Amino acid sequence: MKKKITKIGVLTSGGDSPGMNAAIRAVVRTGIYHGMEVYGINRGYSGMVDGDIHRLEGRSVANIIQRGGTFLKTSRCAEFFTKEGRKTAYDNLKKHGIEGLVIIGGDGSFRGAQIFSNEYDIPCIGLPGTIDKDIAGTDFTIGFDTAVNTAVEAIDKIRDTADAHDRLFIIEVMGRDAGYIALHSGISTGAEHILIPEKKTSVEDLIASLKEKERRKKLVNMIVVAEGEDFGGADELAKHIKKEMPHQELRVCILGHIQRGGSPSCFDRVIASRMGYHAVECLMEERFNVFIGIVNNKMHYTPLDEAVKKKQRISEEWLKIVKILAT
């Protein structure tokens, strides 16, 4: 029978996302409620390697649930992906007696957790903290709702200007190689075209559609582009359009990192709190090396080794909806 876990660590890794602080808060307070010692690891895996680890109390996480970013900081750590780096990280955890970890991040963070746990038998629980919503096994990731609402608010404002000047706007949103932010923000703002990496885009067909709309005197067009598009994103698309339609009034707007920041939405605060709570419960119940998602509003547990192999895919139904509504 395994010894009951009494000391746990929590860290945030990879890109920041709104709601990470809410998840940390839930982990800390749930752990303390169950009599555990909870340690914060600064700057993700870099903090594990450097020994930047400190104990957290209930008051340590007061007044952070409404804050964007992560108060534990985050980074990407190449050293952790070496055997020497992981050995140093393990030794630093042992100095504090840490017996289990909660990792809040994306698929790269989970990959690191899986390797580390296999080598050193440290149980790990992953929470999906990424605005991209590209992890299979959960309907939503921490930060996606806030990011997509930030994009929607920005696109709504841009449409006012586009309408006032009869202009074509190309708006690039984040998402790495996933098109969920583009898909959701494009549908909810009535974009005329939504370009996502999951569906091959014919620039020639797009330009033909724009010319046909021009003949119909539809002069205001919003094109929402995911940054992972293989033709190079908004700037490259603009070059193609200007070459074929030199008379077209066209502007490019790249929303960039404003989508990552800001106060998390109510939805992100709630799912992050639920996931943080269940992360501690998993460690107590010896349900180890899983990532916690929410599917159909119920907690869903995916083994880490499966989570790092799968990507969240956009269904054909979504693509059909885009085709019909964006005409």
Give the residue numbers of the binding site for Mg(2+). Answer: 107
- Strand order of the β-sheet with 7-12 is 53-56, 37-41, 7-12, 100-105, 124-128, 290-295, 298-303
Residues 6 or more apart in contact with residue 320 via CB below 8 angstroms: none
H or E stretch covering 283: helix 266-284
β 37-41/53-56 pair status:
antiparallel
* Residues carrying an active site annotation: 132
Residues annotated in a binding site for ATP: 15, 76-77, 106-109
Question: Strand runs (DSSP E) across the chain, as ranges?
Answer: 7-12, 37-41, 53-56, 100-105, 124-128, 168-173, 193-195, 221-226, 250-254, 290-295, 298-303
Q: Which residue ranges make up the annotated binding site for ADP?
A: 25-29, 159, 190-192, 216, 218-220
Helices (H) and strands (E) in the chain, counts: 11, 11
